[in-house]
Amino acid sequence: MSTAELAVTGVQKRFGGVTVLDGVEFSCPADGLSGMIGPNGAGKSTLFAIITGFQAGDEGRIRFAGRDVTGLSAVERVHLGLGRTFQVPREFGSLSVRENLMAAAPGQSGENLLAAFLHPGRVRAEEAAIRERADAWLAFLNLAQVADTPAGRLSGGQRKLLELGRVLMLEPKMILLDEPFAGVNPVLIGEIAGRIRELSARGIGFLIVEHNLAALAALVNHMFVIDRGRLLAEGAPAAVLADPAVREAYMGGAA
Amino acid sequence: MEAYLLAVAVIALIYTLLTLGLNLQYGFTGLINFGVVGFFAIGAYTSGLTVLAGWPLPVGLLLAALAAALASWPVGLLSLRLRIEYFAIVMLGYAETIRLVVTSESWLTGGVRGIAGIPSTSAALGLQADPTLVTFAITLAAVVAVILVTRHLIASPFGRVIRAIRDDEDAVRALGKHPGRFKVTVFVLGNAVAGLAGALYAHYITYISPDQFVSLLTFYIWVAMIMGGAGRIGGAVVGTVVLMVFVEGSRFVRDVMPGVAEVEMSSIRLGVIGLALMLLMRFRPQGILGTKGNP
Amino acid sequence: MGSAYLINLAFNGVILGLIVALAALSITLVFGIARFPNAATGDVATVGAFAGLAVTATGGGTAAILGFGVLTAAGLSLLFYLILFRGLADKPPVASLIASIGLAFFVRAVLTFFVGHNQQVYPLPIVRAVPFGPLRVQPTDLQVIAVAVLALAAVFALLHLTAIGRRMRAVADNPDLARASGIAATRVLVVMWLCAGALAGVSGTLLGIKTVVSPEMGWDLLMPAFAATILGTIGNPVGAVLGGLLIGLAQELSTPIVGFTYKIGVGFLVLLLMLLVRPQGLFAGNALVR
């Protein structure tokens, strides 16, 4: 096992009397392309929130990039290179698409109010560089033609791409995607999957939570199955989907 | 008539300053400041007392803004971590508490009797000119300055982040930025503007007492800001003008309807502001002039 | 003198605390189910108190004051839901909060327009205080305590023992359920607003019996009630009641230290300290809202 990985050990979470996560354990390479599935209510969303630091688990530890990040805030985890998107895209609706990406750029001296007024030259130079980077990602994501549109006017699929672009501005080691295909038309799903594959080839790791099993299986190299707050199975997508226990979990959930 | 219009214009400009400060907080950042009048009062008393003690007017104005900023910093630091509804309530209570202190500490503030004989702007500057005209000039300059600074600020990377916070705070956190730092800065800055407005008010009216600093004024400013369209600088000015037409116009209603006493008129003003808040929220939350889709 | 004085202060604190608790429970119910802090709660309480005053003109006693005050407040509360808050339900909570402040102003404006700003008292027979050891107890104090406790008990019985109450708690726990179940949610909301209005009405009339009736009484009640709500974790009914008692006691017992003028500021101070130490409230965990 390399140190550059995401490892989850013994994570538990209860809400009132309900146990949502019951000792989940798994680890995936930080530069891999992994997926996570599970029936509704299996605890995926909660696990996602705990890994990214938006919720605290009751027990268990999260390690990322060779560090124990359990006690770190969501913001600090981002600084270590762990990016995320949201299940329902949370674009900055009144900002233009380009501004959405530019807002994400880390380490801007113009975010300091005094610098914004006292060092206009430096801020302008930084802005130009950030804008160039943002436009490059927009071109990569095929969003260049809507760069000046308010993000609130984008279609559902475009918002998913926009969120991906925003995370990419952070230059993350690994990105957690929360249902990138939900509510997206099949053509755009193919496009999003293509972009993810290309980014993966460039060395960015992915862990993707998704309900669209076929699209996910076609994309990832490794799959985790969560059921009733535990890890039920893991392995190559074809093998996992053929696993009788996994089939039963899904049938049971559907019945 | 000209003198009257000038007097109304001074008050309108002072309210415009308050609206601009609130617009920065709510319109651009989404902070619900229900305590505007508290910082306005702090500015008024600070500058009034400073200049009465013999300091020059610019020192009074500067200290007023500084005092309002200082008074908002700890409470902002403490409560901006909270859910937005909690914060709104805390601010409402904070303004009431400030009024309580002003009313109780009569050794400093004159208590309910207030402070009379505050030097007017022109007197404080040692000028012979009409104090209304001098106040008008200074306040207009302040409004222009605040508008220019706000525009620059909104266009800067800082401004981009606060607008992002207004749209979605969690998403800002997911980008590795702490919303709290930005929110406290904006909160303190907006309240400094309110403090400056209070100082100008004190040197214009020359008499201040706790009665002038009730919560109703806070919501005058809210109505002005929402009418003009939160998040638009020009809207703050337009909204304030509409508000002033209403407030001043209501004085003429009494000439037309002589049966209405001043006490009843104050009830009517309160009722109309209440009604305006309800109707705006129900039908035009984006403002009278705003376009849909710009929250 | 010392301990007897303190005991009397504490007794007064409990009474005031119960009145605050009623208003806080009203706020917390609305927050748990309609999801915004209702700033009009205090002014609904004021209307309740004035409705009670109107009934005394026809010779009504304490029971008539309470009955008419509570009915008026409950009816008004439902009316406000139907004509104002229902239409705001699909907007962000902030819209409802701002509208509720507008409503509070509007109600107070109507009241002051018609009845003026004067303080008034209920023309109830004056009864001599009865000494219980160091404690001097007014018989009306006992009535106030009894009514407040009964009203609180009734609401908790409704929440825990009836089908509609259980549904209220379920809706509070899970807003998606509310959306999915449609008509059932409307009934829950109607009952909740009636309940919230009735609680405000009890609070207002009892405050009127204990002190005086004035158009500003409700607005002044709002801050301690909000403080109690947050103190007891917003959305948590038990917390709201305990928070109310705590605020009432803190206000009264601090009088010898801070004096009468700052008494009303004490609630706010307690709230600030609380937010510093435990921003989620004292009773997070078993709240209506997570």
* Cα C151 to chain centroid, rounded: 11
* Cα C274 to chain centroid, rounded: 20
Q: Do A103 and A73 belong together in one domain?
A: no
Amino acid at C264: I
Sort out which chain B residues have CB atoms less than 8 A from A85's CB and list them.
174
Tokens of B112: 């309910």
**Domain hosting residue A60, numbered range:** 5-91+171-254
Q: Do A69 and A186 belong together in one domain?
A: yes
* Inter-chain CB pairs, A–B, below 8 Å: 94
Query: How far is the alpha carbon of B266 from chain C, nearest alpha carbon, in Å?
Result: 8
**Domain hosting residue C159, numbered range:** 2-118+135-277
The pLDDT of residue C264:
76
Find the residue in A nearest to B292 (Cα).
A94
Contact across the interface for B278 and C117, Cβ inside 8 Å:
no
Find the residue in B nearest to A89 (Cα).
B171
Query: How far is the alpha carbon of A242 from chain B, nearest alpha carbon, in Å?
Result: 36
Q: What is the CATH number of the domain that holds C244?
A: 1.10.3470
- Domain assignment present for C47: yes
- Domain assignment present for B37: yes
Tokens of A119: 């060092």
Tokens of B156: 């800067």
For chain C, the straight-line distance linking the first and the last C-alpha, in angstroms and rounded, comes to 46
The pLDDT of residue C5:
87
Burial of A114 (C-beta count, 10 Å sphere; 0-12/13-18/19+): exposed
List all residues of chain C from 118 to 157 with a beta carbon under 8 Å from chain B: none
Backbone φ, ψ for residue A122 (5° rounding): -60, -45
The pLDDT of residue C270:
86
pLDDT tens digits along C131-174: 888 888 888 899 999 999 999 999 999 999 999 898 888 877 76
- Domain assignment present for C284: no
- State the sign of the Cα–Cα–Cα–Cα dihedral B244, B245, B246, B248: positive
Closest listed residue to residue C93, CA positions, set A196, B112, B208, B83: B83
Q: What is the CATH number of the domain that holds A27?
A: 3.40.50.300
- Domain assignment present for A158: no
Per the structure, the count of domains in chain B is 1
For chain A, the straight-line distance linking the first and the last C-alpha, in angstroms and rounded, comes to 39
Query: How far is the alpha carbon of C11 from chain B, nearest alpha carbon, in Å?
Result: 25
Res. B263: pLDDT tops 90: no
Position B291 confidence tier, pLDDT thresholds 50, 70, 90: low
Per the structure, the count of domains in chain A is 2
Cα distances from C97 to residues B29, B169, C104, C169, in angstroms, run: 18, 19, 11, 22
- Domain assignment present for C77: yes
The pLDDT of residue C175:
63
Looking at every residue in chain B, the average pLDDT score rounds to: 91
- Domain assignment present for C66: yes
Q: Do A75 and A112 belong together in one domain?
A: no
**Domain hosting residue B22, numbered range:** 2-213
Res. C1: pLDDT tops 60: no
Q: Do A85 and A16 belong together in one domain?
A: yes
- Domain assignment present for B207: yes
Res. A255: pLDDT tops 60: no
- Domain assignment present for C264: yes
- Domain assignment present for C194: yes
Cα distances from B149 to residues A253, B67, C97, in angstroms, run: 58, 20, 31
- Domain assignment present for B248: no
Quick check: A249 and A227 in contact, CB under 8 A? yes
- Domain assignment present for B156: yes
Percent of chain C, pLDDT > 70? 93
Find the residue in B nearest to A152 (Cα).
B293
**Residue C36 at interface with chain B, using a CB cutoff of 8 Å:** yes
Q: Do A72 and A190 belong together in one domain?
A: yes
Chain A interface mutation, best of B156, B165, B184, highest count of A Cβ atoms under 10 Å:
B156
pLDDT tens digits along C8-66: 999 999 999 999 999 999 999 999 889 899 999 999 999 999 999 999 988 888 999 99
The pLDDT of residue A250:
81
CA distance C168 to C160: 10
Res. B257: pLDDT tops 80: no
pLDDT tens digits along B164-202: 999 999 999 999 999 999 999 999 999 999 999 999 999
Cβ neighbours of C286 (radius 10 Å): 11
The pLDDT of residue C169:
85
Which pairs count as long-range contacts for B55-58, CB under 8 Å and 24+ apart, including other chains?
Answer: B56/B124, B56/B125, B57/B119, B57/B121, B57/B124, B57/B125, B57/B203
Q: Do A70 and A103 belong together in one domain?
A: no
Looking at every residue in chain A, the average pLDDT score rounds to: 91
Quick check: B240 and B220 in contact, CB under 8 A? no
Q: What ipTM does this complex have?
A: 0.92
Q: Which of B152, B168, B175 sits opposite A104 (nearest CB)?
A: B175
Per the structure, the count of domains in chain C is 1
Chain B interface mutation, best of C117, C268, C289, highest count of B Cβ atoms under 10 Å:
C268
- Domain assignment present for C125: no
- Domain assignment present for B199: yes
CA angle centred on A61, ends A55 and A64, rounded to 5°? 90
Position C190 confidence tier, pLDDT thresholds 50, 70, 90: very high
- Domain assignment present for C128: no
Find the residue in B nearest to A78 (Cα).
B176
Position B295 confidence tier, pLDDT thresholds 50, 70, 90: very low
